[in-house]
């Protein structure tokens, strides 16, 4: 059975809780808030799992990147980039303010 409230749609489902967990929920969480509490707790855990999964996939992707061999050294490449940047800056001077 689906229940629709203003924020979300919920589906009634059955889950089995350990007695210790069930007893703590009943002891610590008001009856009208237990479903919300369990949903929030599950959502938080699922987000952590998803974040960790994404992190592992990203790390695997990074590890799969192979180094690129270049005929120039890093220093030569940086010097070339700086020369090109300076040339571009010198060819496009900033406009002067006029009154």
- Asked if the structure places residue 45 within a domain, the reply is yes
pLDDT confidence of residue 39: 96
93 within some domain: no
Task: Give start and end residues of each alpha helix (H) in 1-99.
Answer: 19-28, 34-63, 74-91
Any domain includes 7: yes
Instruction: Say how far apart CA 43 and CA 34 lie, in whole Å.
Output: 14
pLDDT by 10-residue block (mean), the chain, 99 residues: 64 94 97 95 98 98 90 92 92 71
Q: Is residue 74 part of a domain?
A: no
Q: Is 21 within a domain? A: yes
Nearest-angstrom CA–CA distance, 88 and 81: 11
The number of domains in the chain is 1
Give the residue numbers spanning the domain of 33: 2-66
Count the neighbouring beta carbons within 10 Å of the beta carbon of residue 1: 6
- Separation between Cα atoms, residue 4 and residue 7, nearest integer Å: 8
- The answer to whether position 84 is within a domain reads no
**pLDDT for 86:** 92
99 falls within a domain: no
86 occurs within a structural domain: no
This model's pTM is above 0.85: no
């Amino acid at each position: 059975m689906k229940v629709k409230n203003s924020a979300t749609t919920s589906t009634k489902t059955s889950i089995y809780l350990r007695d210790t967990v069930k007893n703590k929920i009943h002891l610590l969480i008001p009856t009208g808030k237990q479903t919300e509490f369990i949903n929030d707790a599950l959502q938080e855990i699922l987000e952590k799992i998803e974040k960790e999964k994404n992190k592992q996939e990203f790390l695997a992707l990074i590890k799969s990147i192979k180094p690129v061999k270049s005929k120039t050294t890093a220093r030569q490449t940086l010097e070339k980039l700086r020369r090109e940047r300076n040339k571009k800056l010198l060819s496009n001077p900033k406009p002067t303010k006029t009154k």
